[in-house]
Amino acid sequence: MEVAQPKDLKEDFVLAKRRHAELVRQKRIFNARNRIIGGDTAAWDAQVCDQNIKAATEKARDEAFAAEMRQNDKIACISENRERRDRKNLCKAINDFQQSFQRPETRREFDLSDPLALKKDRPARQSDYDARNTISGMQKFMGEDLNFHLRKKFQEEQNREWSLQQQKERMIGRENQKCAEDVYLKTRLQFDETAKHLQNLETATRKAVCATVKEFNKNQALESAEKKIQERKQEQEDNLAEISNMLRGDLLSENPQQAASSFGPHRVVPDRWKGMSQEQLEEIRLVQRQQVQEKLRLQEEERQRDMDWDRRRIQKARATLLFEQQQQRLQRGLRRALDCSNLSLAREQLLQSLG
């Protein structure tokens, strides 16, 4: 009889734990309807929840940053507008002060840069007898025209004579031009009379041509109208013939023979096909019923397989449970036998120690 050691008990515990884990794994994996392969849904749900929390946090932080940025932009715009207004008021005040108290004409050195200085100043020489014309002023020299007034009067008389002479020549030129215009007017009247006569001849010729063309166009219009009437009548007759042919033809009479193809009896012409016959529809319905029966048979076979698989799984689990119960009974018997053996050995050792 062997004595149970702590190491053996530990190994039995590890084996029992591994056996229990294997049973749990088999129960999870060998369930053909509820098994989950290759993924942990709980971990996935936790990850999705963490991602949602992280996204909400990021969104709230971005919204806070955006609100702060908008507030900063608003403050910056207000500050910029205030600075621009203050700068404008300062420039206006400076301009008003300069216009009121710092005008150019109030400066001491304004006479050095006055743009109207030459207009305000007197001329250097007003006459030959000006008291300012000193020797050192160099405003009066030898050889100058001292008879300016006499010379100016002579020039005015000369200009008047030239003006009278020009007026006389202008009158003579006007008379000559008037004579030339009269000659030109007479010639132009003759030309106008000739042109009027030619125009009258041309108008009479054009009227005759227009009358001839009008008569020709009238004849052409009558012929065209007669031709259109004939064409319309012919078109009506053709349309009536086409309608009669269409009504009597195979297309509108729903003749199924016109859909027959020349490539074989099993093929049809798509643009002439009038639908399936009753025999073909019955054949299709028969095939559909066969397919339904076949599908029901396959579903029944699948249900039988599932039931067989469930029965086998239950039998296997029951056999495993019975085997474990038997192993437990054997272990309990071994443990009782081991306990009895240990007790008897302890008694023998006690008796040996007392003896």
Summarize pLDDT for 284-323 with one digit per residue, the tens: 899 999 999 999 999 999 999 999 998 998 998 888 888 8
Amino acid residing at 111:
D
pLDDT at 182 over 70: yes
Higher local confidence (pLDDT), 143 or 292 = 292
The whole-model pTM stands at 0.25
pLDDT value at residue 34: 54
Q: Could you read off the pLDDT of 297-308 as tens digits, one per residue?
A: 999 999 999 999
The three-class DSSP label of residue 324 is helix
Backbone angles phi, psi at 126, to 5 degrees: -95, -30
Which backbone phi and psi does 180 adopt, to 5 degrees? -65, -40
In terms of average pLDDT, the best of 41-45, 136-140, 186-190 is 186-190
Residue 329 contacts residue 335 (beta carbons within 8 Å)? no
Segment 172-185 mean pLDDT: 88
- What pLDDT, in 10s, does the model give residues 226-265? 999 999 989 888 888 888 777 666 556 566 666 666 676 6
Decide if pLDDT at 43 tops 80.
Answer: no
pLDDT at residue 286 in the model:
92
Tell me the CA distances in angstroms from 325 to 13, 94, 320, 330, 340, one per residue in order. 16, 110, 9, 9, 22
What tokens appear for 337 in the block?
Answer: 């036998």
The reported pLDDT for the residue numbered 143 is: 63
Distance CA 329, CA 278 (A): 76
Q: Residue 127 gets which letter from DSSP?
A: -
Query: DSSP code of 122?
Result: P
β-bridge mates for residue 232, sequence order: none
Out of 99-108, 219-228, 236-245, pick the least confident: 99-108
- Burial label for 339, CB within 10 Å (0-12, 13-18, 19+), is exposed
pLDDT at position 1, please? 45
Q: What percent of the chain has pLDDT over 70?
A: 79
| Residue 292, CA distances (Å) to 14, 287, 295 in order | 55, 9, 5
What mean pLDDT is reported for the chain?
82
Task: DSSP for 67-88, please give it.
Answer: HHHHHHHHHHHHHHHHHHHHHH
Tell me how far apart the alpha carbons of residues 261 and 273 are, in angstroms, rounded to a whole number. 10
41 close to 28: Cβ distance less than 8 angstroms? no
Angle at 123 between CA 117 and CA 124, to 5 degrees: 110
Q: Is the pLDDT of residue 126 over 90?
A: no
| Contact predicate 135/149, CB 8 Å | no
- d(CA 32, CA 302) in angstroms, rounded, equals 12
